[in-house]
Amino acid sequence: MKILHLSSYDFGGAGMAAYRLHCNLRRAGFTSRMLVAQKREADDDVLQVGVDAPSSRLGTFLSKARLKFCSDQDYYFQDQTRSLLAQPGRILEKVGFTPDLIVVHWVSNFVSAADVRTLSLSCGAPVIWYLLDMAPLTGGCHYAWDCTGYFDACGSCRALRSINCYDRSNEIWREKAEALEGIEVAVASGSGWLDRQARNSSLFRGREVRKVLLSVDPEVFCPCPKRDARQELGLPQDKKVLFFGNQGLGLKRKGMAELIEALRLLSLDPSFDVGSMVVAVAGSLPADFELPLPFKGLGFLKGDRMLALAYQAADVFVCPSIEDSGPMMINESIMCGTPVVAFEMGVAPDLVQPGRTGYRARLGDSADLARGIRELLALAPGEAAVMSARCRELGLELLHPDRQVDAFRDLMLAVDNRRQATRGGQP
């Protein structure tokens, strides 16, 4: 089977998730190629087709300006009708084959739903839309919070601060609905959280929807002696290490305010030994960055190996996201054998099993998040070793690349069966 992937990038969180699936399917014997707007991987099967013209750059700038000044940035609203493909029907000439399946990943500011329709009809291939956030389900929002407008046809959009039921979000929703009409589309959701959202979405209601967790390379993300990992990262050997990734200190949805409050509560707890632990923070930090507990900045961790070292060095990984479809860092931590403390959000309900692989705190409850951190850091060495082994076991069971390929193969078979049923059994 020949598979074509569409993704804005082959790097970053969503882009790397797309690239990993492409590589997994290729290793499994499929012919797989990616079309991206921006490319970093030295892979001949990843083809950059973005249009780097002044008009394109101006359009991107204006789109980002509207996002910043004309919408509530917590929703990350974007005009999902934007496209860099001048002639989407001719893109297959660059690919070099006629795909049997089109997999759409995170494609904002690259490919529109209308482009996907054109490609699907031009080659007769069904589409699997791999959800990494809510953008495909809505009239513009990547994160809808508690808004249920996407259950219907959007409009009166909170992100746009609109009371008009026929606003731009409704226009985008209608353009998407028209593009999806009459083509075979199935949904792969990267978490159970997204899976439920997809089933409620008016755009994908009645379509085939399957949960397909994002895979993690078990050879790179694996347990290793903490001493070795800490020595390479410059972390103390005689302290408990709590790790988290700085993925945007100013983003409300990443829960930084809730995490800082949790750490403040721990610092005030007389039963908690502040001097026995250190918080390891990945990512670039401002010069005035502070935490209520001792911390060490790890800087930007370039590449999977360096990121894996951080999980391997840590006793606990904390994910404070309060509105998220993932994040993939939970998957990576579990595969490394590092227990996770997270809010009841995103992929946490799939992977963070209370008392077995970590602690799930009540959504937005900083005191409960602090309680989980304290409990996991207080585990005796033997208890911590058992929990670590359970994390690794669960990672191999649910997140191995072979598991992702098998789930995708099953979904492809379900799509083919639906197509044949629609055609009355004709091949």
For residue 100, tell me if it sits in a domain: yes
Task: Pick left, alpha or beta for residue 358 (phi over 0 → left; psi -120 to 50 → alpha; otherwise beta).
Answer: left
Whole-angstrom CA distances from 315 to 74, 78, 296, 333, 339 are 31, 38, 15, 10, 7
Same domain, 101 and 134: yes
Same domain, 367 and 336: yes
**CA pair distance 17, 208, nearest whole angstrom:** 21
Same domain, 254 and 182: no
Torsion from C-alpha of 24, 28, 32, 38, nearest 10 degrees:
10
Count of alpha carbons within 13 Å of 241, Cβ hemisphere only?
27
For residue 369, tell me if it sits in a domain: yes
Same domain, 299 and 286: yes
Torsion from C-alpha of 415, 418, 424, 425, nearest 10 degrees:
50
Sign of CA dihedral 83, 87, 92, 96: negative
Tell me the pairing of strands 2-9 and 101-104. Answer: parallel
For residue 68, tell me if it sits in a domain: yes
CATH number at residue 170: 3.40.50.2000
Count of alpha carbons within 13 Å of 273, Cβ hemisphere only?
8
Same domain, 137 and 243: no
For residue 58, tell me if it sits in a domain: yes
Question: What single-letter amino acid sits at 154?
Answer: C
Per the DSSP assignment, residues forming a β-bridge with 103 are 5, 128
Same domain, 201 and 231: no
The number of distinct structural domains making up the chain is 2
Burial of 220 (C-beta count, 10 Å sphere; 0-12/13-18/19+): middle
For tokens 């992100």, name the residue: 159
Q: What confidence score (pLDDT) does residue 89 get?
A: 72
Element (H, E) at 48: strand 46-48
Are residues 368 and 362 in contact, defined by beta-carbon separation less than 8 angstroms? yes
Cβ density class 396-420: b for 16+ within 10 Å, e for less: bebbbbebbbebbeebbeebbeeee
Same domain, 78 and 175: yes
Same domain, 154 and 299: no
Range of the domain at 75: 2-215+401-422
pLDDT tens, per residue, the chain with 427 residues = 999 999 999 998 899 999 999 999 999 999 999 999 999 999 999 999 865 554 555 666 666 666 666 789 999 999 889 888 877 777 888 899 999 999 999 999 899 999 999 999 999 999 999 999 999 999 999 999 999 999 999 999 999 999 999 999 999 999 999 999 999 999 999 999 999 999 999 999 999 999 999 999 999 999 999 999 999 999 999 999 999 998 767 789 999 999 999 999 999 999 999 999 999 999 888 888 899 999 999 999 999 999 999 999 999 999 999 999 999 999 999 999 999 999 999 999 999 999 999 999 999 999 999 999 999 999 999 999 999 999 999 999 999 999 999 999 999 999 988 887 776 655 5
Same domain, 142 and 271: no
Q: What confidence score (pLDDT) does residue 80 get?
A: 87
Tokens, residue 203: 């755009």
Phi, psi of 370, deg, nearest 5: -60, -40
Specify the DSSP class assigned to residue 177. H
The SS3 assignment for 358 reads strand
Are residues 33 and 21 in contact, defined by beta-carbon separation less than 8 angstroms? no
Q: What confidence score (pLDDT) does residue 419 get?
A: 80
Burial of 204 (C-beta count, 10 Å sphere; 0-12/13-18/19+): buried
The SS3 assignment for 97 reads coil
For residue 332, tell me if it sits in a domain: yes
Same domain, 126 and 172: yes
Same domain, 364 and 317: yes
Please list, in sequence order, all residues whose beta carbon lies within 8 angstroms of the beta carbon of residue 167, skipping any fewer than 6 positions away: 155, 156, 157, 160
Tokens, residue 113: 């739903």
**CA pair distance 303, 305, nearest whole angstrom:** 6
Q: What confidence score (pLDDT) does residue 55 get?
A: 52
**Nearest Cα residue to 316 out of 220, 242, 424:** 242
**CA pair distance 399, 168, nearest whole angstrom:** 38
For residue 167, tell me if it sits in a domain: yes
For residue 164, tell me if it sits in a domain: yes
Tokens, residue 118: 């054109």
For residue 427, tell me if it sits in a domain: no
Same domain, 194 and 241: no
**Nearest Cα residue to 345 out of 325, 329, 372, 317:** 325
**Nearest Cα residue to 7 out of 93, 96, 100, 116:** 116
